[in-house]
Structure 1
């Protein structure tokens, strides 16, 4: 991990963010170094989100671990270049390249929602570089979008359709209301943090249109059976986005997994239950 030198001795460098060209895309990631740590956490957010979604758990976890939080292309501050292939397989390969570039060791994957599925793709591609996997309400068993929608994504006005669909669903605030158990947890700062990447320009909507056709289906049962890395599955009992039944099915298909269910919790586990999230991570990673 990056360090500075003080009187000939390495010391912790302050947390920082960076955009690097990885696998043909500008990849935004945040680094929280801890020179006393011998384990690294690699954090991957969910759909329509960014590394912002881990803001409550990073301050506690960085006391014990190296942390890398990355924005999935085309979300957050990562690139939206339409020449890039926004498939899970390619995004997973891009993140693995970043791990090698940063020379990370003893890496545990932490993925939320769609980020969990990308983490599983990474584990399938190069299982030898990961110690543990922790999935918070991971997506699973979704098929590729219908051929009619793939065709629509090629049309010049596709980005307008994507933007309208997001607005019609209630916008950022409307979507947040669907993913939390306690609506009182939604604050102005939370809405602003999730909205920010979508108000600067329309590039994100063009990229989302391409993302919709590039995204292949989730891993099959046969592929999941090949992943033997110890895996902790954490689910909110009241998750309306990725129901608990998906977690139970993943628990059956991932050979070395265990499932923990949190009561009075929706889909945004790291934000709704940050203390419990940190405790589970520390106990599982060690």
Structure 2
């Protein structure tokens, strides 16, 4: 297995990616992390996926090692199109997309935009049904120093408290995990990007739009998810016509960290079952 790491300038912003090339597999999996995260959140899942597939893990702007341009439009639609442009530059013609949390909503946007390219979707505790920010907050985002208010707000909760909120088994939290999730905050420019994300982010896909997605979807949820409760997963499962839901007990929101082996097994089974069904 060889690994390519780099950045591509897409729509005026740098998009960081890691491309793990399998020696024989022709199938590609795209990984999209969640809010305030990066490719780091898939660190336990990537080695397992690489055994079977080509894997592309991206940091979507303004997170991780991707750009934080103050001219970029941080809407779901534009981020999704930027990711699709990156895959086109990498000559990826079809793929499976796996999205965690906010990355799940981006995955659904990508499947909605390009159903011809997306063969399957795996949603890991995906966000759903969130409305756009209130107009008053959008107006505030234009203030010159608004990004400092975002920084102060996030610093109040802190990385450790956030980790404790997203992980069911607190013993999993160690120094490596803490530092990995702290890293996105070390670049001050991220807070300017977050201000624009708050301003540009549309609401999540509506029920009507979800009903139009025919791509097979597997939903994997932590029963103890405090960030995106299981009720959202059940609702998404009803609105996505070709989907099924798997619930992991004693598991929180950060399923790629907490249950990588179980998640991997469910993904492989899902892809194999779908392929057999299509051939039949």
TM-score after normalising by structure 1: 0.93
Match of 2:276 in 1: none
Query: Which of residues 58, 61, 65 is equivalent to 2:46?
Result: 58
Match of 1:230 in 2: 216
Match of 1:22 in 2: 10
Give yes or no for contact 1:16–1:30 (8 Å, CA) kept in 2: yes
Does 2:195 align with 1:191? Answer: no
Q: 1:1-286 maps to which residues of 2 (within 5 A)? A: 12=1, 14-169=2-157, 171-199=158-186, 201-286=187-272
Deviation at 1:16, TM superposition (A): 2.4
Give yes or no for contact 1:82–1:210 (8 Å, CA) kept in 2: yes
Give yes or no for contact 2:36–2:184 (8 Å, CA) kept in 1: no
Counterparts of 2:90 and 2:197, CA distance in 1: 26
**What stretches of structure 1 move > 4 A for 4+ residues in a row?**
none
Residue-by-residue CA offset, 1:160-207 (whole Å, 9 max, x unaligned): 1000110112x11111110011111111110101111212x3100111
Counterparts of 1:181 and 1:197, CA distance in 2: 22
Counterparts of 1:100 and 1:160, CA distance in 2: 36
Counterparts of 2:86 and 2:178, CA distance in 1: 29
TM-score after normalising by structure 2: 0.95
Residue-by-residue CA offset, 1:244-286 (whole Å, 9 max, x unaligned): 0000000000000000000000000010001101101111123
Give yes or no for contact 1:39–1:105 (8 Å, CA) kept in 2: no
- Measured on the aligned residues, the alpha-carbon RMSD in Å equals 0.9
Residue-by-residue CA offset, 1:35-94 (whole Å, 9 max, x unaligned): 311211000000000000000011111011000000010000000001000000000001
Give ranges in structure 2 of 5+ residues lacking alignment: 273-280
